Structure 1
Amino acid sequence: MSRPLLITDCDEVLLNMISHFAEWLEEAHDLSFDLYTDSFQKAIRTRAGESLPEERIWPLLDGFFRTEMERQNIVPGAAEALAAIGAHADIVILTNVGDEHEAGRVEQLGRFEIHHRVLCNRGGKGRPVRELVEQMRPSAVVFVDDLPVHHESVANHAPEVWRLHMIGEPRLAEVVPPAPHAHARIDDWSEAARWIEARFAEGPASREAEQVKEEQQ
């Protein structure tokens, strides 16, 4: 019988990133980052209070991942939860960084005893999730991510996948509402692990589950 599959994001799900990115922006670029905003682009500002244009933001992110990944620390409970889940399920870490950062990401996760397949991606995560489902044919799938846009993408491409919205940075979690296309929002790994195990036992997400989610909103 096929094993269940957990597909999880990395930054702000397994590893804290935003707080360290904010520190680095101030130290290296004299920029501020508002951790209490739900808009990434509006969060980065110059000392004069001006927002940065989008074309300046992505090179900053690339620079952080190229030189500063050692700053990132583990989200509490993440390593323990993955160890327990990985005893009977497959795990893929689907992370939106370029392929050039794959080796660094694998090494980074290994420092926290997280040794699972890392799949780099650009853009929406629905298509790579669909491809993983078709390749691995798991008994059930749970997808975990901090960004609502990816839950919408997975809902469109792989509606049978359970979707859990999680934000590991408490200050960001305070201001970001639950993703409308996720089945649940849980920001604590001990509770999330129980939810994931229950969904594995339940099998693929059903149309009835989608209806219940819509009624609860």
Structure 2
Amino acid sequence: MTRLAETSADDLRIGARPLLVVDVDEVVLQFVAPFKAFLLAHDHELRLETFSLNGNVISLEDGRRVENTEVKALISAFYDSQEDWQKPFAAARETLHRLTDIADVLLLTAMPPEHREKRRRLLARHGFDFPLIASEEPKGEVLRDLCETRPPLLIFVDDMLYNCRSVSHCLPEALTINLLIDDDYRALAPQTTPPSVVATGWDHLEEIIRRHIAENV
């Protein structure tokens, strides 16, 4: 795959090599820890009692759980300033660059496209020079459309199981990997169920990917 600054899936040209599609928040870039810090700087606190942002953001001014619309606004404000807060997980960049010897890499981030340019700059600053798609559409549908004419061997990585299920539904032959790096975050997450498999870190993820490609190419 040619490394271009794509703005949509329509700009991509998929080749015959295996395609590794990787989520960004809490997979490539840390999200939970910097979002907690961002909220505290804005008089809010994230208390993860369930595996969701909605219902778990507390206003420090009056102690109330903020409404979902306010959570959405806080997330948008965080994305506006993401370049000041987010950093990559250790080993993410090195692992993805190693994997380019056997696969093309595409980053697929679930965010409004208006935040894409800041995300692209942030990723480039940390050496993630891979194509990037920002979309709020179901990830399975995005990838089904992308791979419509020439589906490669597809591997999809995401921290959200519902995104893995979306891809499995639209592209049943894809390997979907539920990457849950943080122990506390993993404890709250829904249990990973087939056909998806769970990975607990970037080393474990690389092992799964290399084994799958070796067995299927």
Unaligned runs of 5+ in 1: 205-217
SS at match of 2:147: helix
Partner in structure 1 of residue 175 of structure 2? 162
Q: Secondary structure at the match of 2:105?
A: strand
When the two chains are superposed, the root-mean-square deviation of aligned CA atoms in Å is 1.9
Q: Distance in 2 between matches of 1:201 and 1:35?
A: 39
Q: TM-score when scaled to structure 1?
A: 0.85
Note if 1:173 corresponds to 2:186: yes
Query: Contact 1:124–1:149 (CA<8 Å) still a contact in 2?
Result: no
Q: How many residues align?
A: 202
Residues 202/134 of structure 1: CA separation in 2 closer, same or farther (3 Å cut): farther
Q: Percent identity?
A: 25
Measured after TM superposition, the shift of residue 182 of structure 1 is: 4.9
Runs of 4 or more above 3 Å deviation: none
**In structure 1, what is the equivalent of residue 211 of structure 2?**
198
How far apart are the structure 2 equivalents of 1:168 and 1:123? 25
Inter-partner Cα distance in structure 1 for 2:146 and 2:206:
21
SS at match of 1:202: helix
Indicate the residue corresponding to 2:22 in structure 1. Answer: 8
Q: Residues 117 and 180 (structure 1 numbering): CA distance in 2 closer, same or farther, change over 3 Å?
A: same
The answer for the alignment partner of 1:37 in structure 2 is 50
Cα deviation for residue 160 of structure 1 reads 0.9
AA aligned to 1:131 is: D
CA distance in 2, matches of 1:70, 1:77: 20
CA contact (8 A) 2:157 2:179 kept: yes
1:181 Cα shift? 4.9
Q: Aligned in 2, Cα 1:85/1:136: closer, same or farther, shift over 3 Å?
A: farther
- Kept in 2, the 8 Å contact 1:36–1:171? The answer is no
Q: CA deviation at 1:122?
A: 0.3
Q: Please name the residue that 1:90 is paired with.
A: 104
Aligned partners of 2:82 and 2:118 also within 8 Å? no
How many angstroms apart in 2 are the aligned matches of 1:130 and 1:149? Answer: 16
User: SS of 2:55's equivalent?
Assistant: helix
Greater share of helix residues, 1 or 2?
A: 1
In structure 1, what is the Cα distance between the partners aligned to 2:16 and 2:137? 29
Residue type of the partner of 1:86?
T
Structure 1 Cα separation of the partners of residues 126 and 54 of structure 2: 30
Q: Distance in 1 between matches of 2:154 and 2:132?
A: 17
